[in-house]
Amino acid sequence: MFPELLQIGRFTPYSYGVLIFLGYLVAIWWPTHLAKKEGIPPIKMEGLGPVIVLTAGIGSKLLTALDCAGFYSGDWNHVWSQASGRGGVFYGGFLLAIACSGLYFWLTKLPGWQVADCVAPGLALAQGIGRVGCFLAGCCWGIPTQLSFGVTFTSEAAHGITGVPLHLPLHPTQLYESVLVLLSIPLSLWLRKRKAFAGEVILVYALYYAVVRFFLEFFRGDPRGYYFNHLLSTSQLISLLIIPAATFLLVRLRNEATSAKQHQYKTQRVLVLNKTRAKAI
C-alpha cells in the first residue's frame, strides 16, 4: 500500500490521483488514435476527451458522496484527500459521461456508436490502471479471507483516508477488477474488426463489465450504499439495470443491421435484374 507519493510542502500528490490522471490520458489518446484510423476528425475526438474526463470524475465523486454521508465534510485538507486520495463510484462517472458524451455527439455531429466503439478499449485500460490506484490507496477493499493471496494493509495514512481495515487479510478486489477489465481489451480489439454494427463493441463491454461488477461486489467489504435490506449494493443495482438495457440494444441494433443488409441486397438484386432486362431489349 502506497497512498502518498511524496510531500511537497503542504501539498500531497496521492498515488490514486496520479494513476487516475494517467488513466484519463490513456482514455483520451487511444480512442483518438483509433478514431483517426476510421476517418473521424481528430480535433472532434480531442474535444470529446476532456468532456469524458471531467464528467467521469465529477460523476464518480457525486455518487460516492450520495453513498457515503459526510464524504466531503471537514476542512480543505480532508476534502482534498477524499477527492484525490481515494476512489469514486465508477458507475457514477460512467453514466454522467455517457449522458454528456451523447450531447457532445449531437452538437458536433459525430457518429456516436462508432466513436463509442473506439472508446471501449481505452476505457478498459483506464479502468485497469485506476483500480491499481485503488489498491495503492487502500480504497475499494475486499472482505476478510484466509486464502493465500489475501492482502494485509498496514498503512495508517491509508486507513485515515479510506478507512481500510489494517492487519487483516482481505480479498484484493481492486486487483481482481483490474485483471478482469484488462482481459477484455483483446476481445474489444478483435470485435472492432469483426463487428456486425456500430455500437457492438461498447455494448458488449458494458454488458461484460456489468456482469463482472455484479459478482465482484460480493467480495467487497467497503461501505458503498445498499438497497433492499442490504441485499444489493448501489453498483449491483446499476449492473442489474445495465445488463438488460445493453442486451436489448445489442439485439435491436443487430436486427436493424441485418434488415439494412437485406434491404441493400434486394435493392442491388433489383438493379441487376433491371440492367439485364435493359440489355435484352
pLDDT tens-digit profile of 137-192? 888 899 999 999 999 999 888 888 788 999 999 999 999 999 999 999 999 999 99
Query: First CA to last CA across the chain, in angstroms?
Result: 83
Q: What was the pLDDT predicted at 85?
A: 46
Position 2 in a domain: no
Q: Which amino acid is at 169?
A: P
Report how many domains make up the chain. 1
Predicted structure pTM score: 0.86
Residues 6+ apart with CB under 8 A from 167: 152, 153, 154
Domain that holds residue 94: 15-280
Per residue in 183-218, pLDDT (tens digit) is 999 999 999 999 999 999 999 999 999 999 999 999
Position 212 in a domain: yes
Position 10 in a domain: no
Position 3 in a domain: no
Highest mean pLDDT among 88-92, 138-142, 229-233: 138-142
Position 178 in a domain: yes
Distance CA 91, CA 99 (A): 12
Q: Which residues pair with 12 in a beta bridge?
A: none
Position 6 in a domain: no
pLDDT cut 70: percent of the chain above it: 87
Residues 6+ apart with CB under 8 A from 163: 222, 223
Position 266 in a domain: yes
Position 4 in a domain: no
- Total residues belonging to the chain: 281
**87-112: average pLDDT:** 90
